[in-house]
Amino acid sequence: MSCPRLRPLLAAALTAVLAACVLSATAGAETQTPTPRDIFKTGSDVTVGPDEVVGTVVLLGGDLKVVGRVDGSAVVIGGDVEVLPTGVVARTVVCLGGSVRRDPGAVVAGNVVSLGGRNTLGRIGGAFYRTVRSPFRPGTMIGWAVSTVLYMVVAIIAAAFFPRVTSDVRDRIARRPGASLGWGALGSLIVVPAVSVLLLVSVIGILVLVPWLLVAVPLAFFFGFACLAALVGEWCLRIVGHGRRNLMVAGVIGALALHVVRLIPYFGAVVWTVVWVTGFGAVSLALWEWWRTRRTRTAGSGQAAAT
């Protein structure tokens, strides 16, 4: 067979192949499903709707609710994950600083990794991303820093304007910590509520109730904290070998140290409560002894005048 006769056959075959390729590409384009979109957000909540299909979901400082389908993994830092009965997560669920809730019927094909409220790492992660979301909200890092600075200022004011009384109450806590704690518990749980009720039911006492609850009691608590912070600060200075006593520096260091301890889950809350109650008890003891001493001196002066 000569070459001129093969040319029409080769042309026809090449045309058929190209047509088949075009048809297969067109068919593939028609049957190909779109790739689900990935979600990456900070500081906002996300809900995957009932008829919605998404890819991987990454949230920083927000909650995730899955009603539809997540084809990838779900990673949430500083928020909670909730998978409803119709929800599907095709891969792993990772939650730092929150909790994972799976309703009956919910499907999570991969593992569930949750480092939430009981885990220190989860708390730190949650605190960081809550700070990003609401910087000055209580419980955030900036909120903690602002609170720490305010308590340092309280310690400075106590040491600068009332150094003698601050030193006296500080030494009282060091000598009688158990008595200070006991008197503080008695005062805060029984004496303060009882006096408040008595003032409330009396006619003249109503005028004294507001200054009592809004001025006198808070001042006693804050001043007690400043005195105990000065004691803790002196312990810290002693540990690092700083022998010179400086009431103001000790108060600032003590306030910072107590606020650092406050970050420890559960233990910090217990220590913080003991600090407030003990400081209040030491101030109450100091006031009681001051009143008793003054009464004794007044009685003695009266007897001397009578004779």
Interval 241-251: pLDDT, tens: 766 678 888 99
Q: In this structure, are 110 and 229 located in the same domain?
A: no
- Residue 4, both tokens: 């001129």
In a domain, 188, yes or no: yes
Q: In this structure, are 196 and 249 located in the same domain?
A: yes
In a domain, 303, yes or no: no
Domain end position, chosen among 89, 104, 133: 133
In a domain, 179, yes or no: yes
- Condensed to tens digits (0 to 9), the pLDDT of residues 148-183 reads 888 999 999 999 999 999 999 999 999 989 999 999
- Of residues 95 and 15, more confidence is placed in 95
Residue 138 backbone phi and psi in degrees, to 5:
-55, 140
Q: What is the mean pLDDT of residues 35-39?
A: 85
Q: In this structure, are 72 and 196 located in the same domain?
A: no
Domain end position, chosen among 133, 158, 176: 133
- Of residues 240 and 92, more confidence is placed in 92
Q: In this structure, are 177 and 289 located in the same domain?
A: yes
Q: 């009266």: which residue's tokens?
A: 302
- Of residues 27 and 217, more confidence is placed in 217
Domain end position, chosen among 82, 104, 133: 133
In a domain, 13, yes or no: no
In a domain, 237, yes or no: yes
Q: In this structure, are 103 and 154 located in the same domain?
A: no
Q: In this structure, are 171 and 231 located in the same domain?
A: yes
Lowest-confidence segment of 12-26, 36-50, 76-90 by average pLDDT: 12-26
Q: In this structure, are 292 and 219 located in the same domain?
A: yes
Contacts of 155 (CB under 8 A, 6+ apart): 225, 226, 229, 230, 233, 248, 251, 252, 254, 255
Residue 3's pLDDT is 45
Contacts of 174 (CB under 8 A, 6+ apart): 231
Among residues 168, 191, 192, the alpha carbon closest in space to that of 247 is found at 168
Q: In this structure, are 173 and 270 located in the same domain?
A: yes
In a domain, 215, yes or no: yes
Q: In this structure, are 127 and 235 located in the same domain?
A: no
Q: In this structure, are 152 and 291 located in the same domain?
A: yes
Lowest-confidence segment of 13-27, 112-126, 129-143, 261-275 by average pLDDT: 13-27
| Average pLDDT taken over every residue of the chain | 78
In a domain, 31, yes or no: no
Domain count, the chain: 2
Lowest-confidence segment of 161-165, 191-195, 274-278 by average pLDDT: 191-195
What's the domain range around 85?
39-133
Q: What is the mean pLDDT of residues 90-98?
A: 82
Q: In this structure, are 96 and 116 located in the same domain?
A: yes
- Condensed to tens digits (0 to 9), the pLDDT of residues 108-133 reads 998 887 765 444 445 555 555 554 44
- Which amino acid makes up residue 285? L
- Of residues 116 and 73, more confidence is placed in 73
In a domain, 180, yes or no: yes
Residue 222's pLDDT is 92
Strands (E), 14-155: 39-42, 46-48, 53-54, 57-60, 64-66, 69-70, 74-77, 81-83, 88-89, 93-96, 100-102, 107-108, 112-115
- Residue 33, both tokens: 């499903």
Q: In this structure, are 159 and 251 located in the same domain?
A: yes
CA dist., res. 263 & res. 228, Å (int):
18
Q: What is the mean pLDDT of residues 21-35?
A: 52
Among residues 227, 247, 250, 220, the alpha carbon closest in space to that of 172 is found at 227
